[in-house]
Structure 1
Amino acid sequence: MKSSVIVVGASGGIGSGVVASLLAEGYPVVGVGRHRDTLLDLADRLQRPAGLTLLPASVESETAARDLVQQLAGLRRRFAGAVVAIGPPRECGRLLERDEVFLEDRLHAHVVTQFSAARHLIPFLAQNSPNALFLGVSSAATEHPWAGFGHFSIANAALRMLAKVLHAESRDLPVRVQQLALAGLVRTYRNDHCACSEWLEADAVGRAAIDLLQHSDGSAAVLELRPGGSPEPVE
């Protein structure tokens, strides 16, 4: 039987696709989400698979992330890795028309929560599941500002640097630390009415995560996924 995979943000659009792909590949999944009702909705959409364990928890603070790790330890499982696919819904608007609280909130939701997840899950995986993969999911919207989504570009630029720092600081640990940057918008169960061929599919993100779980040597801090492609290392 394959080792389990933790998916943080399991009930979100991308997280749901990752969960479905992992289950289809035979991986037991521990789906982590802030709200029990959205996790139950996830289980219903997937027809309540036996391999899915729901864990209402979050990584929004030090205390919450510490509690999550304690709950994971209580499951007494070996883990192939953890996929962290979290972040608030995108909100359009000019950044100059917002105040500093708006940017602080978005940076916390995108960057600080990913850091909190990494700070607790990386040591947990290193201690309990050697050679596991810690995989953060972000956007490739870092080199150029997205029109109307400047805060999103800023946050993902910070996430890319965070991934490089975490990768460098984890070299002596028995865990692979990487980030999967998604080049483009993602079609999920929430927006499946969209028919643009240039969008990524949520299950393609899941397949990329599986590919990295099974084959990545962990040498690249950041890998980019484009529609129709496979994860490719980026500088």
Structure 2
Amino acid sequence: MAGSVPRVALVTGASAGFGAAIARRLLSEGYTVIGAARRLDRLQELHAELGERFSPMVMDVTDPASVEQGYTWIRERFSGLDVLVNNAGLALGVAPAHEAKMADWERMIATNVLGLTRLVHCVLPDMVKRNQGHIINIGSTAGNHPYPGGNVYGATKAFVRQLSLNLRADLWGTRVRVTNIEPGLCGGTEFSLVRLGDQAHAKAVYEGTDPLTADDIADAVAWVATRPARVNINTLELMPVSQAFAGMKIHRES
């Protein structure tokens, strides 16, 4: 993008894992990146690493006021937002639905569904007005393929998938793009630690596997974002080679 006006990307959940890797990769593609997350210390570390084209922003996507204030700040400082990467999200627990904690379900819905939707609602009118922009949502294979213990987490990611498709339907006639990226098993992040609550259980999830990495997801984000303006990648599902589709389970009485 030499000689052109730097494009601006907002990445949520940027303090670690996918978000930090996506911020690094988009910077390498020439973007100015606004990294939003709750943990200021992590954002400051990234700012020290990445330099002035990385702007840290404290934002809690579950707090409507925080999202509105953050987007107001962006509008005051930048001519427009070219890319929104809705990466902030989490999974909590793997208990079957009848044993799961309601508080865990509510937190996943608040972050993965409402938080993502708030950001979309903020940025979309300006993107349509400018007739350009790209919303990249980070979904999951859990939104497509059920598994025991996936219950509400999988349901939130199914929401992300369907919202992404419905946005494309509403945006027909504009040049605003929407992509849902759906990773499978991915290691080297805090995802399983947050979900399971301790390092030993989190490590066991990846034993004997060669999972995707945060850099693989960042590579996918960069690829869809840099396609020609006429191209919209609707959905991109990726799994490690060590993961595949399981057969239907049958319970047999003993």
Shorter-chain TM-score tier: 0.7 to 0.9
Q: Would the alpha carbon gap of residues 41 and 149 (structure 1) be closer, same or farther in structure 2, given more than 3 Å must change?
A: farther
- Separation (CA, whole Å) in 2 of partners of 1:116 and 1:73: 16
Give RMSD over aligned pairs: 2.7
For normalisation by structure 1, the TM-score amounts to: 0.82
Does residue 1:24 correspond to 2:37, yes or no? no
Deviations 1:110-147 (A, max 9, x none): 1111111111122233335x422111111111233233
| Pairing partner for 1:207 from 199, 205, 219 | 219
For normalisation by structure 2, the TM-score amounts to: 0.77
Kept in 1, the 8 Å contact 2:9–2:34? The answer is yes
Extract unaligned runs of 5+ from structure 2: 194-202, 242-254
> Which secondary structure does the structure 2 equivalent of 1:135 belong to?
strand
Extract unaligned runs of 5+ from structure 1: 229-235
Does residue 1:96 correspond to 2:108, yes or no? no
Match of residue 127 from structure 1 = 129
Match of residue 83 from structure 2 = 81
Q: Would the alpha carbon gap of residues 195 and 126 (structure 1) be closer, same or farther in structure 2, given more than 3 Å must change?
A: farther
Amino acid at match of 1:136: N
Does residue 1:164 correspond to 2:165, yes or no? yes
Percent identical pairs in the alignment equals 21
CA-CA distance at 1:215 after TM superposition? 0.4
CA-CA distance at 1:168 after TM superposition? 1.3
CA-CA distance at 1:100 after TM superposition? 4.3
- Please list every run of at least 4 consecutive aligned residues from structure 1 whose deviation after the TM superposition is greater than 6 angstroms: none
TM alignment of 1:147-158, pairs within 5 A: 147-158=148-159
> Which secondary structure does the structure 2 equivalent of 1:147 belong to?
coil
- Separation (CA, whole Å) in 1 of partners of 2:104 and 2:15: 24
Match of residue 176 from structure 1 = 177
| Pairing partner for 1:68 from 67, 70, 78 | 70
CA-CA distance at 1:88 after TM superposition? 2.6
| Pairing partner for 1:222 from 223, 235, 243 | 235
Query: Between Structure 1 and Structure 2, how many residues are aligned?
Result: 225
Q: Select between 98-107 and 177-186 the one with higher mean Cα deviation.
A: 98-107
Structure whose residues are more often strand by fraction: 1
Larger radius of gyration: 2
Q: Would the alpha carbon gap of residues 218 and 163 (structure 1) be closer, same or farther in structure 2, given more than 3 Å must change?
A: farther
- Separation (CA, whole Å) in 2 of partners of 1:197 and 1:21: 25
- Separation (CA, whole Å) in 2 of partners of 1:40 and 1:117: 22
- Separation (CA, whole Å) in 2 of partners of 1:52 and 1:220: 26
Q: Would the alpha carbon gap of residues 7 and 143 (structure 1) be closer, same or farther in structure 2, given more than 3 Å must change?
A: closer
> Which secondary structure does the structure 2 equivalent of 1:55 belong to?
strand
| Pairing partner for 1:114 from 110, 113, 116 | 116
Kept in 2, the 8 Å contact 1:34–1:56? The answer is yes
- Separation (CA, whole Å) in 2 of partners of 1:52 and 1:158: 30
Kept in 2, the 8 Å contact 1:187–1:201? The answer is yes
CA-CA distance at 1:226 after TM superposition? 3.1
Q: Would the alpha carbon gap of residues 146 and 161 (structure 1) be closer, same or farther in structure 2, given more than 3 Å must change?
A: same
